[in-house]
Structure 1
Amino acid sequence: MIGNLGIFFLAAFFEIFGCFAFWLYFRLERTPLWLALGVISLVLFAYVLTKIDVENAGRVYAIYGGIYIVASLLWLVFIEKESFNRWDIIGASICILGASVIFLGNQKVG
């Protein structure tokens, strides 16, 4: 499980970085180099997500959704220098609980 968790967070980093690169270009009028970095990062995101040790893609995406929300809030704090509030914490907790139920409930026994 720890290996998968690390892969999920790595995938989230690549997805968030890729989307943020597009944000920088389109919203903050940064150089087109950010578009290239965004595309590369999003390709890496898609590749890394295929390395999760779960049988079905739909389940991987469902579990990833909870991880993505937590990672996005970490991005908010560490990169955008904004604090999260109690609603962010409550919402993320609910999502990570749901993702954990899906992941743990579908583990093969034995």
Structure 2
Amino acid sequence: MPTLAAYIGAALFEIAGCFAFWGWMRLGKPVWWLLPGLVSLGLFAWLLTLVESAAAGRAYAAYGGIYIVASLGWLWAIEGLRPDRWDVTGGIICLAGAAIILAAPR
């Protein structure tokens, strides 16, 4: 599986899993929301193991940039709040950092 696809899938599953807990704890959603949340978090962890990297820490560090941008997409698409210019600027900086980590010659 290509690295970018694994990262995007992992980000969506991680955000969805965490949002299930957020919904239960902060939005008053029923406790059964935790079940799909736990499955989603398990899929997130599995997808990260598919990333081609000799070191888990490096794979996770590069994933961080993708996660941040995906979280801003979630903010807009699911929570209905459009990211502001500072969100977008920060997301671009994080993606640049992830790209440096992934593309560095080793």
TM-score (norm 2): 0.95
Residue in structure 2 matched with residue 105 of structure 1 by the alignment: 104
Q: How does 1:1-110 map to 2 (within 5 A)?
A: 3-106=2-105
Q: What SS class does the counterpart of residue 83 from structure 1 fall into?
A: coil
Structure 1 portions without partners, runs of 5+: none
Query: In the alignment, residue 36 of structure 1 is paired with which amino acid?
Result: L
Alpha-carbon distance in 2 for matches of 1:103, 1:7: 13
Report runs of 4+ in structure 1 exceeding 2 Å deviation: none
Q: What SS class does the counterpart of residue 34 from structure 1 fall into?
A: helix
Structure 2 portions without partners, runs of 5+: none
State percent identity of aligned pairs: 49
Alpha-carbon distance in 2 for matches of 1:4, 1:102: 13
- Cα deviation, 1:29-69, whole Å, max 9, x if unaligned, reads 11111111111111111011100111110000100000000
Shift, 1:11, TM fit: 0.2
Alpha-carbon distance in 2 for matches of 1:17, 1:62: 20
